[in-house]
Amino acid sequence: MKNDKRRFLSIAVFLNRSSKASRDQVSGICRYAAEQELWDLHIISRPSSKDDMKGLLSALRPDGIIAGSPEIVSAFRRRLRTHVPAVVLDCYARSNSAADGLVLCADHDVGKTAAEFFVGRGFRHFAFAGICGNDSEFVSFNSHNRENGFRRALAKAGFAPSVYNESLLPGSRNYADLKGLGDWLTTLPKPCAILATSDMVAQSVIGVCRRRRISVPQQVAIMGVDNNPSICENTSPTLTSIAFDFEACGYKAAKLLDRFIGSGEAAHRPIVRVTYGLSGLVERLSTSNTAGNRVRVARAMEVIRKRALDGITAREVAEAVGVSPRTLEIAFRNASRRTVRDELLEVKLAAAKHLLKVTRLRADKIAERCGFKTRAAFKAIFARRVGKSMRQWRNDAVRHS
């Protein structure tokens, strides 16, 4: 038997795991590491103090670094006096000379997705609530790109948005000038569709609409970005939001780092930039058209989104909305040209695809988690709706990650 002399690689991952986005990024990194077999991961929440940083510098000698901050990369390189390959996630590009690679969100796709959604819903007036002036922070860089993507997509449809930008207080992600925001919202032609650069900015917009007695979504429809459940599920009305594929971000970061380590490319080469995309748009009540039967459809969509994986039936959805199954079915077909059962299956299949992509769970376990009654039913429905077996779909998803 041939002796395998390959050595384990020590990979240090510095991400703040208090956020769902970072936890998903770590999940993607772990998935890539599991495929490599020879990666030894050290996953550490960002050091919260200088003492923490000193301890890490003395204890770790990584072969590669994935971090959310270029300062961590610089500190390790100074301490080790060598060029440790490094990839930095979602940081302002001009501040990342320390990184070999950057993995950045596809912000222009956010604006394009929002514009297509709103135009498709028949809106003719549009607005963007963004962030400016925070030159040292990545959030203003994101906001500018999202605004540009929104403008370009709307221009193709013959429209232009009104724009409100505000410089945030240090450490804040909410608007502070509520009077200025309120005055802007009051002057917008109604009905108006608003894309906010983040869920927290959207939360500020909804709060000011309430104070100014501007009804949401009847007068203004509001969409956020990040799909943070703690915000989106707790605004009134609940907030529609665009979600990034943070798990793909982590996977791509690990793959890029592996390329740097394996190739032995020289230091000081041009920074390699890679982008990751969206995982979808989650519609909630802040953008639903509540005219006529659409209010029933909007409420049904909320129930389906929250309870589909519990195995809720179409009849039970109707009961939760407070109408007969036939009444809801007619309203659903008129509003979306789909049945309630179709929507239930779409939510279940989306969850199943995610589990197939990021886990190695067997079909029976996935069926159980996604609300299918039996493994056989799950496999038959998946093949019929997706056009591939689960094995084929999983192999293709991993190959194209």
**Residue 128 CA, distance from chain mean position:** 19
Residue 401 lies in a domain: no
Q: Are 223 and 287 in contact (CB under 8 A)?
A: yes
- The secondary structure of 5-42 as a DSSP string is ----EEEEEE--TTSHHHHHHHHHHHHHHHHHSSEEEE
Q: Over 90: is that where the pLDDT of 161 sits? A: yes
Q: 229 and 205, same structural domain?
A: yes
Q: 232 and 116, same structural domain?
A: yes
Confidence category of residue 223, pLDDT binned at 50, 70, 90: very high
Q: 332 and 296, same structural domain?
A: yes
Residue 2 lies in a domain: no
Q: 159 and 235, same structural domain?
A: yes
Question: What distance in Å separates the CA atoms of residue 131 and residue 125, rounded to the nearest whole number?
Answer: 21
Backbone φ and ψ for 334, nearest 5 degrees, come out as: -65, -35
Q: Strands, E, within 331-396: which ranges?
A: none
Structure-model confidence comparison of residues 214 and 69, the more confident one: 214
Q: 27 and 135, same structural domain?
A: no
CATH of residue 304: 1.10.10.60
Q: 334 and 296, same structural domain?
A: yes
pLDDT at 48: 64
**SS3 call for 358:** helix
Q: Which of 226, 234, 230 is nearest to 280 (CA)?
A: 226
Q: 23 and 121, same structural domain?
A: no
Residue 264 lies in a domain: yes
Question: What distance in Å separates the CA atoms of residue 336 and residue 327, rounded to the nearest whole number?
Answer: 14
Count of structural domains, the chain = 3
Q: 126 and 101, same structural domain?
A: no
Question: What distance in Å separates the CA atoms of residue 158 and residue 75, rounded to the nearest whole number?
Answer: 50
Query: For residue 6, with 0-12 CB atoms within 10 Å meaning exposed, 13-18 middle and 19 or more buried, which class applies?
Result: exposed
Residue 1 lies in a domain: no
pLDDT at 265: 57
Confidence category of residue 137, pLDDT binned at 50, 70, 90: low
DSSP state of 188: S
Query: Encoding tokens for residue 171?
Result: 């450490």
Residue 357 lies in a domain: yes
Please state, as a whole number, how many other Cβ atoms lie within 10 Å of the Cβ of residue 388.
13
Residue 81 lies in a domain: yes
**SS3 call for 67:** strand
**SS3 call for 172:** coil
Give tens-digit pLDDT for 364-383: 999 999 999 888 999 999 99
Residue 4 lies in a domain: no
Q: 300 and 356, same structural domain?
A: yes
CATH of residue 49: 3.40.50.2300
Of the candidates 226, 261, 286, which is a domain's last residue? 286
Residue 117 lies in a domain: yes
Q: Are 86 and 99 in contact (CB under 8 A)?
A: yes
Q: Are 221 and 192 in contact (CB under 8 A)?
A: yes
Q: 91 and 15, same structural domain?
A: yes
Q: 262 and 212, same structural domain?
A: no
Scan for tokens 């970005």, then name that residue.
Answer: 225
pLDDT at 179: 92
Confidence category of residue 4, pLDDT binned at 50, 70, 90: very low
Q: Over 70: is that where the pLDDT of 96 sits? A: no
Lowest mean pLDDT among 162-171, 191-200, 309-318, 367-376: 162-171
* Domain coverage including residue 163: 107-244+281-286
Confidence category of residue 283, pLDDT binned at 50, 70, 90: confident
Neighbouring-strand partners of residue 276: 105
Q: Are 183 and 209 in contact (CB under 8 A)?
A: no
Of the candidates 230, 256, 279, which is a domain's last residue? 279
Contacts with 389 (C-beta within 8 Å, 6 or more apart), sequence order: 379, 382, 383
**SS3 call for 121:** coil
Q: 112 and 198, same structural domain?
A: yes
Query: Encoding tokens for residue 142?
Result: 């994101």
pLDDT at 3: 42
pTM of the model: 0.76
DSSP state of 238: P
Q: Are 197 and 147 in contact (CB under 8 A)?
A: yes
